[in-house]
Structures are given as structure tokens and as C-alpha cells.
Amino acid sequence: MEISSLITQFHAVDPSLSRVYRDQRVTLLRRYLMQDYMAESSAEALERFFRISARRWSLSYFRKVPGAMSSFFDWAVKHRHISDNPMTGLGRAIDYSSTRPQTALPPVYVDFASHLRSLHRSEDTIMQRIGDMRRFAGDSDPLQATAQSLGDYLHSHRLEWSAEYRRKIRASFVAFYRWATSTGRIDADPTLDLASVRPGKSPRAPIKDEDLLSGYYGAPLDAQTVIALAASLGLRRTEIALLHTRGRSGRVLTIHGKGQKVRHVPLNDLCYKLLVELERYQGPGYYFRNERTQNHLHPSTIYKKAKRHIGSWCLHSLRHRAATVGLRRGANIRGVQELLGHASLSTTQIYTEVSLDDLAAITSSTAWPMQLGESDDASTTLTIDLASLATAHVPLVAEALSRYLKAHQAA
């Protein structure tokens, strides 16, 4: 069977994936798989192909092509169109990034990247910072920028870019020009006079409980665990991917977050039982692993595990749910900040949704009688929402009721 026919069949696989994503995979396969590729491909040929391609592809594109090929060959083996998957034995595409020559970047960006690595920034962060600078400067020298040109650039995209995206770009500007000033490349830091970008309200809402539970109960064990870790502990996809059995000590989980930060999160009953079940099933090691290499899965694979069970919601909406529900059930915002691993409290505030019911509860509590001496009904009426009552608060509520009853009996 011709490769084009096989690719057409492959396009119909896994309808839970978006059509845009499936179309993208097919486009990449048609671009790089020739008609006789199935008969002649081998692990050695593919490795040569990727090493050569690494010199001219961007890092993000370099991740997509091997992923599409691997999925295609897995499908072809499963349906007996070929006997062996030629991708077997190859490392992840990211493993070949070292073959891409640094000289492809202007020297100032190469030096900036080295500086960021000395600060232990992740490669994703480094690529984002450099990408932001290159898009701004284009072919011109970024060291010639002024506060005016930086501000005009951010202002000109205010309608197409969210406030959070513009804040990230401004952070790239600050990191780059602070480094350039400290190393003597420029005399003054232009970002000192650059207006800040106020945080906007996140476009992502927390996932609805009915959609969360429907997806959770219909998912296999590994996907259930991903959903629970994100929706009840607020973990990021990368943090979930890096979870290892040695990071669990009883009912406390060690999380390796952004910026090499480590935090410790107590496990609730749900996540504790799921992780113990995974340990019993697959033994020590990464909780989410490649069975062949025993290395952890890529964060994008973690995303896909949950995505196929939560419909149109994204994995980050589960993290928003953890923050919002945590606050509604009695946690203070500083505690939620620690749970999510945010460096700034303002970031945590973006993750927490305030409903009309929340606002109504506040305005009711701040009211007083219309006339002096009039009974305040709100002060003598006690309403308890049992569904949202945290276990830790039950003794406090019982004590308050006891004091209330004793006071009225004495009266």
C-alpha cells in the first residue's frame, strides 16, 4: 500500500484529538515521508535525517516532526502495515538539540543564552527569552533599543496579545537589558523607564465539576492520576512529568517546579491512593514513564493523556480549579500561592475565579440594619454550606454552634 494511502488512514485515528492537530501531523508526514520511505527507512537513516535537520529547524519544529513520525509508525506496526517501528531506539528529538550550531544566532544572543544557563534557567525559558528578543529586534541591533521603542512595540500589540503575554515579553526585555547593562554592552538600562503591564484576568476558567468528574471516571489509571494531580493539587504538566517514586515520603510529595524551585505538598486521599496504585502496578521510578527507556514522559504527552478525557478544557483549567476551589473551601490566598508554587501573589490572584455568590457573601457580611435599633437578620441567621465545608473546619463550626446555643440558653 502506498504511503499516501496509509497517511490518509492515519489521519482518521484518534478522533478525540483536534482536527487542527491531526491535519498538522499529516502535513508533516507528507512533507518528509517519500513514497518508498516505508521500505527503506531505518533507525540509522532517521537519526542521520534528524541530525542534519537539527541545523536548520527551530527547536519547536524539531519536536513536532519526530513526534508525528513516531505516532505514525506505531500505528503502522499495530495494524501490520510494517513489521518494525524504525523510530524504536531513537532518543527524543530534544536530545539532538546539541547538534544545532550556536553560531546560527548572533553573538549577543549566544552570550545571553550562556548567561541564562549560568542562572540554571530551563532551555524552554532560554528559547522563549531569545525568541522574544529576536521578534522585537528583527535584523536590527537589540542593543540600540530605547524605552520608547520598547514601549511602542508592546503598545502596538495590545489588541492582539493578552496582558499576560505582554508581561512575559516585558520580562524578557528586562532580563536581556539588565544583563547587557551589567556586562557593559550598554550604558543605561532602557527598561528602567519602561511602563509595567498590568496583569489581566486570565481567559481560562476553572473546569466545571461535571466535566471534570465525567472525564475522570471514564479515564484509565494513568490519566486519572494526571487529572487528579492537576485538579486537586494544582500541579503543572512539567511537574507531573517529573514526579518520581522517591519524591513521595508517606503522604508528602516533593515537587520540582519552575526555576529549580522545590516545594512539598501534602497528598489528599485521592492522589495518595492513585499514586500508590501506580507504584503497585509499575514499580519504582517515574510515575509517568516510557516503558522502553524508563525515562519520564514529555510534558506534552502528559497533556495529551488528560486532554482526551476533558473535552474542550485544557490541562491548565484543572490547575485553575485547584486554586479556586481551595479558596472557596477555606484556604487563604498565601496557602494557595504555596500550593501552586507561585513566586508572586499577583500571579495566584489571576488563577482564582470570583463568582457572584462569592461577591454576594461579602456584600451581605458588610451590611448593617437600615435603622438604628432594627434587628440585623443577617447577624442571627447562620447558613452552612456542607458541600463546601473542609474537614478541618468541622470542629471549628461545632465549637461556634456550641457557644451560640449556650449564649441563647443563658439569655
Same domain as 253, residue 138: no
Residue 368 confidence (pLDDT)? 47
Verify whether residue 135 is a known catalytic residue: no
Would you say residue 228 lies in a domain? yes
Between the two ends of the chain, the Cα-to-Cα distance in Å is 90
Task: Say which of 296, 305, 320, 342 is annotated catalytic.
Answer: 342
Examine residue 321 and state whether it is found in any structural domain, yes or no: yes
Indicate whether 144 and 255 sit together in one domain. no
Q: What is the CATH number of the domain that holds 283?
A: 1.10.443.10
Statement to judge: residues 254 and 226 lie in one domain: yes
* Same domain? 77 vs 182: no
**Domain-ending residue, one of 167, 193, 219:** 193
pLDDT at 103: 42
**pLDDT for residue 409:** 56
User: Does the pLDDT of residue 199 top 60, yes or no?
Assistant: yes
Catalytic residue among 319, 320, 321, 328: 319
Assess if residue 386 is contained within a domain. no
240: number of Cβ within 10 Å: 24
The answer to whether residue 363 sits within a structural domain is no
Per-residue pLDDT reduced to its tens digit, 374-404: 555 544 455 555 555 555 555 556 666 666 5
Tell me what the pLDDT averaged over the chain comes to. 75
Which tens digit of pLDDT belongs to each residue from 13-48?
Answer: 766 566 777 778 888 888 777 544 444 566 777 777
Q: 310 and 235 share a domain?
A: yes
Whether 202 is in a domain gets the answer: no
Cα pseudo-dihedral 223, 228, 230, 234, rounded to 10: -170
Instruction: Give Cα 233 distance to the centre of its chain.
Output: 13
Among residues 25, 121, 167, 236, the one annotated as catalytic is 236
Residues 189 and 222 in one domain: no
* Same domain flag for 244 and 332: yes
CB 26 within 8 A of CB 11: yes
Residue 144: domain span: 102-193
- Which pTM does this prediction carry? 0.48
Domain count, the chain: 3
> Which domain CATH number covers 42?
1.10.150
Residue 238 corresponds to which amino acid?
T
Full 3-state SS string of the chain:
CCHHHHHHHHHCCCCCCCHHHHHHHHHHHHHHCCCCHHHHCCHHHHHHHHHHHCCCCCHHHHHHHHHHHHHHHHHHHHCCCCCCCCCCCCCCHHHHHHHCCHHHCCHHHHHHHHHHHHCCCCHHHHHHHHHHHHHHHCCCCHHHCCHHHHHHHHHHCCCCCCHHHHHHHHHHHHHHHHHHHHCCCCCCCHHHHCCCCCCCCCCCCCCCHHHHHHHHHCCCHHHHHHHHHHHHHCCCHHHHHCCEHHHEECCEEEEECHHHCEEEEECCHHHHHHHHHHHHHHCCCECCECCCCCCECCHHHHHHHHHCCCCCCCHHHHHHHHHHHHHHCCCCHHHHHHHHCCCCHHHHHHHCCCCHHHHHHHHHHCCCCCCCCCCCHHHHCCCCCHHHCCHHHHHHHHHHHHHHHHHHHHC
Which residue in the list 258, 263, 289, 329 is annotated as catalytic?
258
Same domain, 140 and 64: no
Q: Is 316 a catalytic residue?
A: yes
Check whether residue 312 and residue 324 sit in a common domain: yes
Residue 236 is a catalytic residue: yes
Query: Catalytic pick from 11, 81, 263, 316?
Result: 316
Residues 97-126 pLDDT 10s: 444 444 457 889 989 988 998 888 877 788
Q: Which of 29, 139, 138, 132 is nearest to 87 (CA)?
A: 29
Is the sign of the CA dihedral 37, 42, 45, 51 positive or negative? positive
User: Which of 64, 99, 134 is the last residue before a domain boundary?
Assistant: 99
Look at 6-10, 52-56, 233-237 and tell me which has the smallest mean pLDDT: 52-56
The verdict on 43 and 163 lying in the same domain is no
Q: In the annotation, is 342 catalytic?
A: yes
Please indicate whether residue 115 is annotated as part of the active site.
no
Active site residue 309: no
Highest mean pLDDT: which range of 41-50, 89-98, 223-232? 223-232
CATH number at residue 123: 1.10.150.130
Residues 220 and 335 in one domain: yes
Together in a domain, 216 and 302: yes
124 in any annotated domain: yes
Q: Answer whether residue 398 is part of any domain.
A: no
In a domain, 313, yes or no: yes
Catalytic site residue from 96, 109, 286, 351: 351
Query: Among 56, 77, 99, where does a domain finish?
Result: 99
- The pLDDT of residue 330 is above 70: no
